C-alpha cells in the first residue's frame, strides 16, 4: 500500500510538474532553448525530441560552447499547442555517459514492436570528451517516457546525431554522422547493429559534419542534412532508391543564415501536409549555441523534388481568434514603420512585441480561426506614450474595418477592449494598422 501511495504521488507530481503549454508559431517552444529537432508521429500525435541547450556556467560545461545535460519531449495534435512532458533522459542517469561532458547532442526516437527507442549521442566515460561520441539507447513503453537507458552505448557505433529509419518491410536502419554519414541495419532488438557500419556514398566531400535525417516517400529515400557550402550550415537533400545508398545530391531545402551557424532538421507528414522541423537562434540573438525549434510547411513537386522552404516567424497551424495572438510572429508587414523587438531584452523567454510608429504602418498575421460568430469584441495589450488608434481588418489592407481600438496615452502596458462587427465566420488573415501618428507597441491581440 505504501508503495502504491508513493507511486501515485510520484505519478501525479510528474503530471502536474511536467505538463505546461507552449506558445504557437516560430519558435514553437518558448520555455527553454531547443535544437536539433527530431519530430515523429506516433498514434496521430506529433512528438518532438530536441536537444536542450543551456548556458554553460562555472563547472558546468564549456563557456562559449554547446552545453546540454538532458532531453525533454514535447507533443501536440495541432502543431500549435505543445505540451512539455518534462525530462526523459539526463546525463547523470546514464551509466556510460561522461558526467562532465554536458554534450547530449541531437537525438531521435523510433517505435518498434510496442516499445519506443530513444537514441542519443554523448561522450562516454571510457573514451573521454575529446575522443569522440558514442550513441546510446533508452527504452520506454510510451513516447513520452519514462525511458530506461541501456547500461552501455551501441557497440561499434561512434559518432553523433543518430536518426532511425523504419523501412516499409519493418527493417530498422541507424544513420549517424562523424565527418561522413554512416548507416547500419539495426537488429530486431533495436539495441545492436547488424554487421559493420557503411559509409553513405554520393554525399558532398567537404562540409558534412552532422545531422542526417532519412525518410521514405513514394519509394524514394530522402536524406536531408546540414551542409557547410560557404560559412555556415544550409539544409540540403539527396535521394536514393535504397536506404544504404548510393545517394545523389538533389538540392537545397533551406538557405544558410549568418545569425546561426548550425541548422538541423527532420521531416514529417501530418494530417496530409509535409513539415520541416529546423532550428534558429530566435531567443538568443547574440549567442548561436542557444537555439530554438521552428516548423514550416514543406512541398514536393510531382517529380519528387522538394521546393526550397523559406523560414517564417508565423510557422504553421491555425490560430484560434480567442487565443492571445502574437502578431509579432507576422506573415507580412509594411515596409515602413513596423518592427519587432523583445518585450524584455534581459529575459527573452517573455517573447516579442510589435512596434508601429508611422501612420498607416501595418502588420499581418495569417490563418486566424474566426469560426465563432459570437465574437463581439477585441482585446489588445498595448502601450503608447502619446496614445494612438489601431484599425483591425481581415484579409486585405483595403478591406472594411471590423474594429477600431483607441490606445490611451500612458507609459504602462494596458489591456484595451473594443467592439467588433461585420466579419464573416471562417479562417482569415488578421491585419492591424496604425491610423494615428505616435508610436504604439502591441504585445498580443485576442477576440472574445
Active site residues: 36, 210
Cis before residue 27, ω within 30 degrees of 0?
yes
- Give CA–CA dist 309/299, Å, rounded: 8
Q: Is 224 in the site for ligand FUB (CB under 6 A)?
A: no
Place of cell 527504452: 139
Q: Of the two residues 27 and 211, which places its CB atom closer to ligand FUB in the complex?
A: 211
Q: How many CB atoms lie within 10 A of CB 416?
A: 15
Give, in order, the Cα–Cα distances in Å from 245 to each of 221, 237, 238: 9, 13, 10
Q: How far is the CB of 146 from ligand FUB (least distance, A)?
A: 24
Comparison of 34 and 326: residue with beta carbon closer to ligand FUB: 34
Q: How far is the CB of 168 from ligand FUB (least distance, A)?
A: 27
Based on the number of CB atoms within 10 Å of its own CB, is 303 exposed (0-12), middle (13-18) or buried (19 or more)? exposed
Under rule CB under 6 A, residue 160 binds ligand FUB? yes
DSSP state, 232?
S
Q: Which of 69, 84, 108, 161 binds ligand FUB (CB under 6 A)?
A: 161
Interface with ligand FUB, residue 135, by CB under 6 A: no
Query: Which residue from 38, 51, 80, 433 is in contact with ligand FUB, where contact means CB under 6 A?
Result: 51
Answer for the pair 88, 118: CB distance below 8 angstroms, yes or no. yes
Q: Of the two residues 35 and 203, which places its CB atom closer to ligand FUB in the complex?
A: 35
Pick between residue 161 and residue 296 the one whose CB is nearest to ligand FUB.
Answer: 161
Count how many residues are written for the chain. 448
Looking at the DSSP bridge assignments, the partners of residue 46 are 41, 76
Asked whether 291 and 279 are in contact (CB, 8 A), the reply is: yes
Sheet containing strand 220-228, edge to edge, reads 213-217, 220-228, 233-240, 248-254
Minimum Å gap between C-beta 289 and ligand FUB is 8
3-state class of 131 per DSSP?
A: helix
Strand, helix or coil for residue 294: strand
Q: Does 108 bind ligand FUB (CB under 6 A)?
A: no
**With binding defined as CB under 6 A, does residue 106 bind ligand FUB?**
yes
Nearer to ligand FUB, 61 or 149 (CB): 61
CB of 246 to ligand FUB, least distance (A): 23
Of 224 and 436, nearer to ligand FUB (C-beta) is: 224
CB-based closest residue to ligand FUB: 105
Site string for ligand FUB, 258-277 (x = CB under 6 A): ----x-x-------------
Residue 35 sits in the site that holds ligand FUB (CB under 6 A): yes
Q: Which is nearer to ligand FUB, 54 or 148 (CB)?
A: 54
301-340 residues in contact with ligand FUB (CB under 6 A) are none
Site mask, ligand FUB, residues 60-99, x = CB under 6 A? ------x---------------------------------
Q: Does 210 bind ligand FUB (CB under 6 A)?
A: yes
Distance, CA of 419 to CA of 425 (rounded, Å) = 16
User: Can residue 211 be called a binding residue for ligand FUB (CB under 6 A)?
Assistant: yes
Exposed e or buried b per residue across 203-218, where buried means at least 16 C-beta atoms within 10 angstroms of its C-beta: beeeebbbbbbbbeee
Using CA atoms, how far apart are residues 8 and 185, in angstroms rounded to an integer? 40
Query: Minimum distance from CB of 27 to ligand FUB (Å)?
Result: 15
Counting contacts by CB under 6 A, is residue 36 touching ligand FUB? yes
CA dihedral defined by 318, 321, 324, 327, rounded to 10 degrees?
70
Nearer to ligand FUB (CB atom), residue 264 or residue 348: 264
Q: Assess contact for 247 and 223: CB atoms under 8 A.
A: yes
Least separation, in Å, of the C-beta of 436 and ligand FUB? Answer: 45
CA atoms within 13 A on the CB side of 306: 26
**Does 22 help bind ligand FUB (rule: CB under 6 A)?**
no
Judge contact between 333 and 313, C-beta under 8 A: no
120 is a site residue for ligand FUB (CB under 6 A): no
Q: Which residues bind ligand FUB (CB under 6 A)?
A: 35-36, 51, 66, 105-106, 160-161, 210-211, 262, 264
Amino acid at each position: 500500500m505504501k508503495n502504491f501511495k508513493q507511486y501515485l504521488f510520484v505519478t501525479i507530481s510528474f503530471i502536474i510538474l511536467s505538463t505546461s503549454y507552449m506558445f504557437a508559431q516560430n519558435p514553437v517552444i518558448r520555455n527553454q532553448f531547443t535544437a536539433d529537432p527530431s519530430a515523429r508521429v506516433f498514434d496521430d500525435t506529433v512528438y518532438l525530441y530536441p536537444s536542450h541547450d543551456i548556458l554553460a556556467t562555472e563547472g558546468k560545461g564549456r563557456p562559449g560552447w554547446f552545453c546540454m545535460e538532458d532531453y525533454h519531449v514535447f507533443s501536440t495534435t495541432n502543431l500549435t499547442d505543445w505540451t512539455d512532458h518534462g525530462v526523459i533522459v539526463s546525463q547523470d542517469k546514464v551509466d556510460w555517459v561522461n558526467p562532465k561532458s554536458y554534450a547530449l547532442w541531437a537525438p531521435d526516437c523510433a517505435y518498434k514492436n510496442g516499445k519506443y527507442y530513444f537514441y542519443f549521442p554523448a561522450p562516454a566515460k571510457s573514451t573521454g570528451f575529446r575522443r569522440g561520441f558514442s550513441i546510446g539507447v533508452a527504452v520506454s513503453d510510451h513516447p513520452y517516457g519514462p525511458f530506461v537507458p541501456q547500461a552501455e552505448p551501441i557497440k561499434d557505433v561512434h559518432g553523433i546525431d543518430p536518426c532511425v529509419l523504419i523501412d516499409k518491410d519493418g527493417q530498422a536502419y541507424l544513420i549517424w554522422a562523424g565527418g561522413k554519414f554512416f548507416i547500419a541495419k539495426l537488429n530486431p532488438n533495436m539495441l545492436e547493429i547488424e554487421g559493420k557500419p557503411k559509409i553513405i556514398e554520393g554525399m558532398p566531400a567537404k562540409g558534412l559534419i552532422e545531422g542526417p535525417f532519412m525518410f521514405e516517400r513514394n519509394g524514394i529515400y530522402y536524406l536531408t542534412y546540414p551542409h557547410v557550402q560557404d560559412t555556415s550550415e544550409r539544409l540540403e537533400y539527396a535521394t536514393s532508391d535504397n536506404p544504404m545508398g548510393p545517394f545523389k545530391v538533389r538540392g537545397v531545402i533551406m538557405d544558410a543564415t549568418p545569425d546561426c551557424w548550425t541548422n538541423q532538421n527532420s521531416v514529417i507528414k501530418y494530417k496530409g501536409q509535409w513539415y520541416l522541423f529546423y532550428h534558429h537562434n530566435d531567443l538568443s540573438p547574440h549567442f548561436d549555441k542557444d537555439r530554438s525549434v521552428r516548423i514550416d510547411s514543406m512541398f514536393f513537386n510531382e517529380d519528387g523534388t522538394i521546393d526550397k522552404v523559406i523560414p517564417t516567424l508565423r510557422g504553421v497551424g491555425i490560430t484560434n481568434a480567442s487565443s492571445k495572438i502574437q502578431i509579432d510572429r507576422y506573415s507580412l508587414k509594411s515596409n515602413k514603420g513596423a518592427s519587432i523587438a523583445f518585450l524584455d531584452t534581459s529575459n527573452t523567454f517573455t517573447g516579442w512585441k510589435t512596434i508601429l510608429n508611422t501612420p498607416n504602418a501595418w502588420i499581418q498575421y495569417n490563418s486566424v480561426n474566426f469560426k465563432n460568430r459570437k465574437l463581439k469584441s477585441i482585446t489588445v495589450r498595448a502601450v503608447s506614450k502619446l496614445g494612438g488608434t489601431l484599425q483591425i481588418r481581415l484579409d486585405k489592407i483595403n478591406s472594411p474595418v471590423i474594429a477600431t481600438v483607441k490606445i490611451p496615452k500612458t507609459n504602462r502596458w494596458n489591456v484595451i477592449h473594443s467592439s467588433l462587427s461585420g466579419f464573416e465566420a471562417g479562417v482569415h488573415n488578421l491585419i492591424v494598422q496604425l491610423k494615428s501618428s505616435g508610436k504604439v507597441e502591441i504585445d498580443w491581440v485576442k477576440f472574445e
